[in-house]
Amino acid sequence: MMRNLSLVVLGVALMTTKGVAEARWLSVDPVQAQPNSPITFNRYHYAANNPYKFTDPDGREVKGQYHQVVPGAYHLSIRVTPDNQAAYKDDPRFLTDSATGQRYTTFGAGPELGNPVAFPSSLIFPIQPIIKIPTAVNLVSNNNRPSDAERSTHPSSNDLPVAMPSQYANEDQFIGALFSADANYKDNVPYGLPGGTGYNSNSYANGLLQAVGAQPLVAPVRTPLSDNPLPKKDFEK
């Protein structure tokens, strides 16, 4: 029967040989993107390697996502496509997916220059009485950072499951907790040096999830410092 319909069975989704999927893939086409990669050519990655438990044909959940930033190192972030779409229709914190029409937002962080410090002009230039110079690179969080929100910039990005903690009555409460915790983070933690210790974007993603009672993201690729999440106190007032 499947042969007559020109469908290929991939465990949790039916995909036609003409390139039309009967369920929306949460990552790029596993055959066309990077056919030699064991990560992209994974017929069950759509369901987090567990087609019996993690079936999500419409993609409506809180999820982790990762993409490569340099060879051998990946960046983690959190993507929210709420089930209660109407509640976020006019919410400026959300964007609209041009392909699906779904409202979504992302939580992510990266290195940015810290707050500048004022110095007397006599120490630098005699023209201005005060000059401000950035003194550090901090780990700064933002919703919908371009590298997180626009998947077209990272076509090989993949998803990771995030289970809603039992302490929340519904997904809207969970989403609200993520926004509250992120708002409490003061963007003042020094950014960890590559290859060293400290905190980076992966530390932020897992720290945020743990701060709201969720489990940290575990990716099948190298995500430096994901095992060193930001402490819960950094997400509290």
Q: Which amino acid is at 133?
A: I
Check whether 227 has a pLDDT greater than 50. Answer: yes
Structure tokens at 4: 């007559």
User: What does the alpha-carbon distance between residue 85 and residue 190 come to, in Å, rounded to a whole number?
Assistant: 36
- Asked whether the beta carbons of 109 and 205 are under 8 A apart, the reply is yes
- Asked whether the beta carbons of 158 and 66 are under 8 A apart, the reply is yes
Structure tokens at 160: 């990771």
Check whether 28 has a pLDDT greater than 50. Answer: no
Provide the percentage of residues in the chain whose pLDDT is more than 90: 54
Calculate helix-pair angle for 201-211, 171-184, nearest 10 degrees: 130
Of 102-111, 125-134, 162-171, 204-213, the one with minimum mean pLDDT is 125-134
What phi, psi does 134 have (nearest 5°)?
-60, 135
The pTM for the full model equals 0.69
Give buried/exposed letters for 133-144 (b at 16+ CB in 10 A, else e).
eeeeebbbbbbb
Distance in angstroms between the alpha carbons of the first and the last residue of the chain: 59
pLDDT top residue among 177 and 99: 177
pLDDT band per the 50, 70, 90 thresholds, residue 3: low
- pLDDT score recorded for residue 26: 44
Region of 49 on the Ramachandran plot (φ > 0 left; ψ -120 to 50 alpha; else beta): left
Nearest one of 103, 48, 105, 107 to 77, comparing CA atoms: 107
Hunting for tokens 């590298």 — which residue is that? 147
What phi, psi does 103 have (nearest 5°)?
-80, 140
Give tens-digit pLDDT for 142-173.
999 999 998 877 777 899 999 999 999 999 99
How high is the mean pLDDT of the chain?
A: 78
Give tens-digit pLDDT for 44-90.
444 445 444 444 444 448 999 999 998 999 999 999 999 999 999 99
